[in-house]
Amino acid sequence: MQFEAKMLRSYLVIGTQDLLAGQDLLALVEATLKAGVTIVQYREKGSAAIQNAADKLALAQKLKDLTTKYQVPLVIDDDVDLALAVGADGIHVGQSDQKMQQVVAKIKASAHPETFVGLSVSNLTQLANSDLTGVSYLGSGPIKATSSKADADPVIGLAGLTALVQATELPIVAIGGVSFTDDTVIAATGAHGLAMISAFTHAKDSELNTWVPKINQAFSK
């Protein structure tokens, strides 16, 4: 699937480590897809994540089937081999992950050269130091404090986000401590969407069904 900036509007990030007691990853993802999320990132990370490669591959394949059913792109975090193995639409790379240009080169040489690449950029220094060749979008944050990422960069706030939006032509999705009600203030910075973990895991289906279309609308202007 060709990358388009509008895919960033409501961005679910999820892995086994993020689930609340009794939650099922595929059921949660399907509820968000039904509500209208525009992209799904599978991010299996940390000691509470699935460590077994075969189990991870099987889950990623099920996620690919599910997102394909809803015609929504699937992005894999930080694992280009897994992304290529399941034919994911995109790969997301962090500043401390595998070197971005190695990822781009691997994709170009693969059977899926159209796989798009997203990069985490938290501040202007990281932006200046990043080779953005082949990068389709940036993920920027944390906007506020987050408990979902142990090694998160310092909080950048709306001011930090605005500075990044103004410094690059690439579309930016805001991440880190963001909730559904932040849609209009984040949209006003010129960012293209909201990426969230805990806002999604804590939402009831009725809240998803109310908020996801509202978020998509806020970023469509």
Which segments are annotated as binding site? 41-45, 77-78, 97, 120, 146-149, 177, 197-198
Pick out residues in 4-33 that bind ligand 3NM (CB under 6 A): 13
Within 8 A by CB and 6+ apart from 107, the residues are 80, 84, 91, 113, 115, 117, 134
Is residue 139 a contact point for ligand 3NM (CB under 6 A)? yes
What is the C-alpha to C-alpha distance for residues 44 and 20, in angstroms, rounded to an integer?
A: 15
Alpha helices of the chain — where are they, by DSSP H?
25-35, 53-69, 80-86, 100-108, 124-128, 157-167, 183-188, 198-201, 205-218
Q: How far is the CB of 141 from ligand 3NM (least distance, A)?
A: 3
Residues in binding site for Mg(2+): 78, 97
Q: How far is the CB of 125 from ligand 3NM (least distance, A)?
A: 15
Cβ–Cβ < 8 Å for 183, 219 = yes
Q: How many residues does the chain have?
A: 221
- Letters for 112-131 (x = contact with ligand 3NM by CB under 6 A, - = none) are --------x-x---------
Is residue 64 a contact point for ligand 3NM (CB under 6 A)? no
Site residues, ligand 3NM (CB under 6 A): 13, 120, 122, 139, 141-142, 146, 148-149, 152-153, 175-178, 196-199
